[in-house]
Amino acid sequence: MNISSLHTDQAVLEELGSRVARARLEQNLSQEEVAREAGIGLATLKRFESGKPIRLDAFIRVLRTVGLMEGLERAVPEPIPSPIEELKLHGRRRRRAGTPRKRKSPAADRSEFRWGDEGVNSS
- pTM beyond 0.85: the answer is no
Over 70: is that where the pLDDT of 3 sits? yes
Task: Select from 2.60.40.10, 1.10.287.3510, 3.30.300.30, 1.10.260.40 the CATH code of 9-75.
Answer: 1.10.260.40
47 exposure class (CB count in 10 Å sphere: 0-12, 13-18, 19+): middle
Alpha helices in the chain (DSSP H): 9-26, 31-38, 42-49, 56-65, 70-75, 83-90, 106-111
Q: Tens of pLDDT along 4-13?
A: 778 899 999 9
Identify the pLDDT of residue 94: 64
- Domain locations in the chain? 9-75
Identify the pLDDT of residue 43: 97
Instruction: Please tell me the distance from the alpha carbon of residue 22 to that of residue 41, in angstroms, as a whole number.
Output: 19
